């Protein structure tokens, strides 16, 4: 069951985001990487913000990381999301990416148990047959709350 309600529609992917979508179908978290300067582009963009190159590749990353920040949503701007309240939105700092942060959701964790700095691992949330990256607490790291 997807983290957010079935009626919540994911916006269509833009042409410069298709490498990410292809990775999702293969359950591989891919980040756009500038072919010229080697920096990651997240979110994906047609041009590199550092060197203005329009050339890029897609690089798979582990999907491990830590919670950089998060919020608990208690008022749904989109009526479709009301049944999911309260839900979380986390920003995950991805390992091995020199600072790339991914906006996502953390599953299987009550809002009061989420903390900045917690280690997380990738989990594929299936929405309309499309796997999308979300996260769960790293089971190999001892819990620090409680
Ligand atoms: Zn570049």
* Tens digit of each residue's pLDDT (9 = 90 or more) over 17-49: 999 999 999 999 999 999 999 999 999 999 999
pLDDT band at 146 (very low <50, low <70, confident <90, very high): very low
- Cα 58 to averaged position of ligand 1 atoms, centre (Å): 13
Domains in the chain, start-ordered, CATH in brackets? 11-60 (no CATH), 62-146 (2.40.50)
Given a contact cutoff of 8 angstroms between Cβ atoms, the answer to whether 56 and 32 are in contact is: yes
> What's the CA gap between 72 and 108, in Å, rounded?
14
- Residue 42 CA to ligand 1 center (angstroms) comes to 12
pTM of the predicted model, to two decimals?
A: 0.92
pLDDT the model gives residue 145 = 52
Structure tokens at 67: 């919670």
Phi, psi of 21 (to 5 degrees): -60, -40
Contact indicator for 18, 124 with CB cutoff of 8 Å: no
Q: What is the whole-number distance in angstroms between the Cα of residue 34 and the centre of ligand 1?
A: 5
Give me ligand 1 centre to Cα 68, in Å.
24
User: From CA 85, how far away is CA 7, in angstroms rounded?
Assistant: 14
**Secondary structure class of 20 (helix, strand, coil):** helix
């Amino acid at each position: 069951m997807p983290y957010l309600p079935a009626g919540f529609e994911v916006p269509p992917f833009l042409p410069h985001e298709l490498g990410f979508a292809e990775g999702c179908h293969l359950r591989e978290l891919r980040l756009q990487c500038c072919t010229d300067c080697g920096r990651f582009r997240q979110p994906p963009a047609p041009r590199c913000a550092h060197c203005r190159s329009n050339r890029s590749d897609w690089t798979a990353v582990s999907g491990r990381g830590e919670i950089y920040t998060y919020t608990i949503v208690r008022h749904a701007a989109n009526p479709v999301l009301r049944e999911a309240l309260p839900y979380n939105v986390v920003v995950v700092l991805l390992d091995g990416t020199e600072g790339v942060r991914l906006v996502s959701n953390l599953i299987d964790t009550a809002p009061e148990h989420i903390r900045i700095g917690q280690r997380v691992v990738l989990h594929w949330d299936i929405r309309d047959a499309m796997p999308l990256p979300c996260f769960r607490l790293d089971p190999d790291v001892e819990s620090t709350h409680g």
